[in-house]
A = this chain, B = another copy of it.
């Protein structure tokens, strides 16, 4: 076999791509969703498959060659269908009352929101993802009657949470005054007196009035190790204590499993057990990936068009404190551009 002598992981990714392509031609962006690995490794695999002429590019989509079909059949991949549940797209969660109606109301509101800006590594999830993540929290008992902190909320999860009418208190911290202003305007219009939003730079200490005040947090942090720990430290400091829960998104597309391991060690050190980890739960709606010159587009082995599917996905972690919260960072911490960018980033624009 042409794949002998290569690493265990590379063989795994090869097989995932071959299986996906056996089912029909795929765009570059569709293949990014299939590899269950870091973008760099998916790219290496794709380059190897092209070089060995198992896969070819028709100018628009990747297709299996005759040799590729034989290879897939030799591995038995022709007999393996996609096992994901189509009803829930593999998430295990669907939108039932009240969240089905929340999504409708939410979509009207988000149509008016401020545009994402690379100034703050924004790039929001689809409205459906925002509401699905709340449905997950409700399913775990983490929404109704709870005090909820959102750190960084370009997704406007705070507004969707308020539409559900379930949390006791919703507090949004965001560095972008446009987001904070928008949430305040909506809350005023709707008469939500339990919804608060404040401008906050994660490099600053957590305001004293917010420490130890929350049952649950959600954050979708930047993807650098120190940045993630900084976001999660602020959130951890805001929790009440044992039994308090946290949710955050993490993508394997921009972070190696090695980095995941380092992050997981930090989570345990902060006093959490990881209770759930749902892969490909979050779909992001990123625009102008090619036009803006994101590394993931520039690194493609062939010239590619703008994404035809939400290619950027992330895993949702649920954490639960088993002891008093122990944030890794407290006080002011200056990170500058290191907050946003490291060597593994490929769906983040380096600022000048």
Is A286 engaged at the interface, CB distance under 8 Å to the other chain? no
Q: Is the CB of B80 within 8 A of A98?
A: yes
Residues of B within 8 A of A303 (CB): none
Is A187 engaged at the interface, CB distance under 8 Å to the other chain? no
The listed residue with most B CB atoms (<10 A of its CB), out of A9, A83, A84, A277, is A83
Q: What 1/0 flags go to A134-151 for Cβ under 8 Å of B? A: 011011111111000000
Q: Is the CB of B268 within 8 A of A264?
A: yes
Residues of B within 8 A of A242 (CB): 7-9
Is A312 engaged at the interface, CB distance under 8 Å to the other chain? no
Q: Is the CB of A92 within 8 A of B97?
A: no
Knowing A85-B87, A88-B88, A264-B274, the reply to whether A15 touches B244 (Cβ < 8 A) is no
Knowing A145-B15, A244-B8, the reply to whether A79 touches B92 (Cβ < 8 A) is no
Q: Is the CB of B243 within 8 A of A258?
A: no
Kindly report which residue of chain B lies nearest to residue A258, judged by CB atoms: B322
Q: What 1/0 flags go to A225-255 for Cβ under 8 Å of B? A: 0000000000000001111110000001000
Q: Is the CB of A276 within 8 A of B274?
A: no
Q: How many residues of A contact B (CB 8 A)?
A: 74
Knowing A7-B243, A93-B83, A240-B8, the reply to whether A268 touches B273 (Cβ < 8 A) is no
Is A95 engaged at the interface, CB distance under 8 Å to the other chain? yes
Bound-complex Cα distance A86 to B96 (A): 11
Residues of B within 8 A of A323 (CB): 258
Interface residues of A in 251-271 (CB under 8 A from B): 252, 256-258, 260-261, 264-265, 268
Q: What 1/0 flags go to A9-49 for Cβ under 8 Å of B? A: 11111011001000000000000000010000000000000
Kindly report how many copies of this chain are found in the complex they form together. Answer: 2
Kindly report which residue of chain B lies nearest to residue A36, judged by CB atoms: B140
Bound-complex Cα distance A276 to B165 (A): 31
Is A205 engaged at the interface, CB distance under 8 Å to the other chain? no
Is A320 engaged at the interface, CB distance under 8 Å to the other chain? yes
Q: Is the CB of A279 within 8 A of B275?
A: yes
Q: Is the CB of B85 within 8 A of A99?
A: no
Q: What 1/0 flags go to A99-130 for Cβ under 8 Å of B? A: 10000000000000000000000000000000
Q: Is the CB of A260 within 8 A of B275?
A: yes
Q: Is the CB of B279 within 8 A of A260?
A: no
Bound-complex Cα distance A96 to B243 (A): 38
Name the distance in Å between A251's Cβ and chain B's nearest Cβ: 12
Of B13, B84, B93, the residue contacting A93 (CB under 8 A) is B84
Kindly report which residue of chain B lies nearest to residue A10, judged by CB atoms: B243
9 cross-chain pairs, A with B, having the tightest CB-CB distances, nearest first? A9-B243, A8-B243, A85-B88, A277-B277, A81-B96, A87-B87, A261-B273, A257-B273, A12-B141
